[in-house]
Structure 1
Amino acid sequence: NSKGEFKITAQVNDTLHFSYLGFKSIKVRVTNDWLKFGSSNIELTELALALEEVVVNQLKLTGYLEVDIKQVPAINDNYRYSISGLPNAGYEASKTSGLTKVIGSIFNPADFLHRMFGKKPNELRKLRKMKEDDEIRNLLASRFDREMLTVLLQVDRVDLDEIVSQCNYSKGFIRSANDLQILDAISECYEEYKLLSRGRSKRL
């Protein structure tokens, strides 16, 4: 009934298993005392566990291929992914070294920025558009691993840090900033680079 009272047929040494949602399950053995007195009280211990809200998202697509591809978990670095809708098309993870570019930047920082920015105007214009997307901004604001930025800019981690460094940002900022702050810093530096490039072209 509503008070939790019930009757059940049992014999001595039978084991009864009681369970209820939100309470700890318990097993009890029927004894002679139960049969002698005719009734017994059994108490269940409440589980005092407060479960916080958990949001489970397998993949949160943004509509930008570069960002969405990066969210696909890569178990094997040499795994080949196929692109739906494009027959015989796919891509594989690859690792390239930025050592040559970094060494060059030590001797000529301006030349380094020209190579990184001048040859990627389309990617940087796309980045500027992505930067205005709230969903992209929220996604980047929660990341600190630079993986998504390296894919978007098509550079490795060493080159990415070098770009921010050549834009006169401190090592402390590079270490502590989230991906969104790094993106904003690179975008601002790119705008300054364009102004300087136009000014240099006019002088020439």
Structure 2
Amino acid sequence: MIKQLPFTLLFIITLKISAQENRKFLYATVNDELGSMPNVHVINLNTKQGTFTNDNGEFRILAKPNDTLRLSFVGYETNNFKIKINHFGIVENKIELKKEVIELDEVQIKKHNLTGSLYADLKQTPKDIAKEKTKSALDFSKINFKESVVSDIDIVARGKAPNMRKETDPTAKFAGVGGGVSSGPDKYSQELKRTRKEINFKENFPEKLLSEFGSHFFFVELKIPKEKYLHFLEYCNSLEIEKLYKNGNILKVINILQQESYNYLKIIKEKE
């Protein structure tokens, strides 16, 4: 058995080399409905060898007739491509990948009386209390900075210096909104930081949504005109998509956008 081992190994290696010699390079291009697709993973299921498409969606791989190529990309259906003898001819091989359809659970949508006009709809949209409080707190128009500040100090309280921040800072009334005055600078700064964070989220929400879902989702699948993108989000805002997104309910946000896009497109078409 020991004497036969080198011959057996040599025989196996010879078979593998022979099998590879029967294969030759197959050239192809991978596309979707918008054009060529880079970085698609391609693997020959028979040889277990793989590669990726280049920036133009092109790739080459060793194969022979009856081999199967598996092509996969995130968000697209996996395509098992069966190789035939004519794929090695002069005809260009084009392989198409289709977008994966995501089935979502049903979501109950509340009725609204929006008309599609941004000016009119904003009047019906519930006001953001935090934003309104912040706006009023930062209004310096009624402050007379030339007027000196004098605090009435009771004889009993002479030993304690007044809190001059509360006396002079026009934003101090913002601290402790909904229940008295803030008891210390830490609580005040935390409240102000939280409000700034909320405002920053609202300002960046459209850009975050476009970055995460992609322009293909809004402008190709939902067919929303690019110039109407912000108006469409405002149209859907009464259904609390910002709150759902912040709480991680991404699928519900997608479901709302998909269902509301039909009504929105119908409204703007009637307006035109």
> Could you say which TM-score interval applies, normalised by the shorter chain?
under 0.3
Q: TM-score, normalised by structure 2?
A: 0.18
Judging by fraction of residues, say which structure has more strand: 2
